[in-house]
Structure 1
Amino acid sequence: MKRQNDWFTGIDYYDNHKEKEISVERTIIDTETQIKRHEQVEMFYVVSGEAIVSINGRDYDAKEGSFFCMYPHHFHHIRSVQKALEVISVKFYIGLFMYMSWEKHPKYVNAKLMYDTRPMVSLQRKQKEKIKELVQEILQERENQRFGSMNMVQYKTLELHTYFCRYAYEHIGIDKKEESEVWKVIKVTILTTGKNLSLEEAAKATSLSPKALNRSIKETCGYTFFQLQQFGKIINACALLHFPQLSMEYISDLLGFSSVNAFYRSFVKYCLVTPREYQEKYIRSKDWVVMGSGYAMQFLQYMHIHFMKDLSLEGICKEFCIKEYTGKQIFEEVFGSNFNSVLNEIRVCYASAFLRTYKLNILEISLMCGFDSLSTFQRNFKFYMHQTPTEYRSAMKHEENRLEPK
């Protein structure tokens, strides 16, 4: 028997890209390093050695069993090395994991994870064994490149990050180290992207004047208040661009830009490409902009769920936060048809099932499937099924009688 070799899956529309790549490596650190800002989440587990890691101005003892997780608002460097560190590091873009799945938490839990947790936890015996085994499995999958390794690396990295969040959240308030005024402002400036926090407002939370605060921020981390603010917005924009249902206008407004043009200018300055080019180049291929973005399948799912209701292209685009002309283009390019035609085909599909199973009359089924008139229903039914609803029901009844056991 001839085999079917041309199976298609989501990966046919979802090419490998920059943000899907997860960096995993075993590293030896035997010298001090310079303070740095980073776009990726950087996690590392200390296999052996002893050193002092400075994160946002606070020192942490790095030794066997130390588990670090640093986000883009963490500036870190190795301040001193007593014994060369052997670490297994895992780096990834947080947007990928935001897109994959997040458990719904009680109110303010995510904020506590960002603001109140330490970037390092010291693991106990069973925790240490679990995390050490997990990071070694991730490293092994990356090195061996067996079938499914890329998926395994993603799943296990997501598991690793979830474990850190759990441990860090459970350690809130334990052995807490206070941040300096300046480092608190630096963190809040990067994380507070929903509104335009001014330097004057930030200074009120400190004992410094706006000018002195800006100078201290520059001396502390190498960037000005405004540069940090824009960096935070762009980091969040990169994460939000993973969600295809969010329009550029929505992301721009959400992050507090004065206009879409201002959002584009700032994004180009930091990323050297426009937000749309970033999506096409780093998140999905050009072929995936429409099909793989998820819009089409989300539209289809939504229409199947709500086919009985009064649906319109304008309404569904509003539901998914995109422009109507974008929605129109998706239907044309993906389905090769317009919104109304796709909707009518879905309704006829359900009407066919209802005609077979319900004893309702044709008009009742027409209204049940969302058609605004009996004539519209009959016209569309005949177009897709090549017979009238009455003829279809009669043919189905005849077929059932023929198949009934004598």
Structure 2
Amino acid sequence: MTDTILTESSFFHEPSLQLKVVKRDPELPFRLHSHEFNELVLVIAGTGLHFTKDEEYQLREGSVCFIPIGMQHGYKDIEGLALYNILIGENMLAKNFLDLSELPGFNSMFMTSGQIPTLLLNPTQLSETLPILEMMEKEADDQSFGSGSKTLAYSCLLNLIITLSRIYDETPRENNQRAHRLWDVIAFMDRNKHRSLSSEELTEIAHMSTSTLNRYFKLATGLSPLEFHTHKRIAYACTLIQKRGLSIAEIAQATGFSDPNYFSRQFRKIMDTTPKEYQKIFTNRLS
């Protein structure tokens, strides 16, 4: 079978900006293929298997992986998988850019060869990353002359790379791998972002004691299972606010908070702003 190679000319129509953001919703199964460019993948929903000739990687919401030029990979066993592909030309990743090379996470995540570095973002990290992606997608596609869009798109790329590199530095590798043992619990949380959960429900799904589950979750995410689920519910609330059309009380109800005041306190604790302030900021940004 002839190897499938995705070429630069198919995606980069502006030689001075070898950067393209492609949202795939849904992502489809894809046989082994490689690229003439780097690819950064960030999963926003669903599950699937990301595979190479030698290994398979479980994908879920928050999964991040970096595929260097020439590396063969593909997707299979997909269920509602949605992701962003950030296509990055070789000349866009300049290791000698100021102090970028001093970031250990940058070297480990973006300057490796012969392997696919992976990372798992928690819901809060994912919700903070998505606006950077959305801005990069908008500016990279802007063909207006004299608008500064190319520079802004590149600044978004640097922002994303530094953000992910710092998260990579702060996440112990062994602990991050342990998160992959908790897929069933996290998938159950995904299906129940509209309500609160009990420790008993989660331990039954995990087939672990409460103390063991708490220990693994703390090691993998820095949060207890119930705190992690609260973060997911608040991230879901952010999505509902961004879609607009619902009141804060309705969003609280939709995410399982019967008391709007308690919802507001939890939202502020996690997002460092109130739901109304977030709604106002996001509405102004869109305007």
> Given the two structures, how large is their TM-score scaled by the length of structure 1?
0.34
- Report the structure, 1 or 2, having the larger strand content: 2
> Given the two structures, how large is their TM-score scaled by the length of structure 2?
0.47
Larger radius of gyration: 1
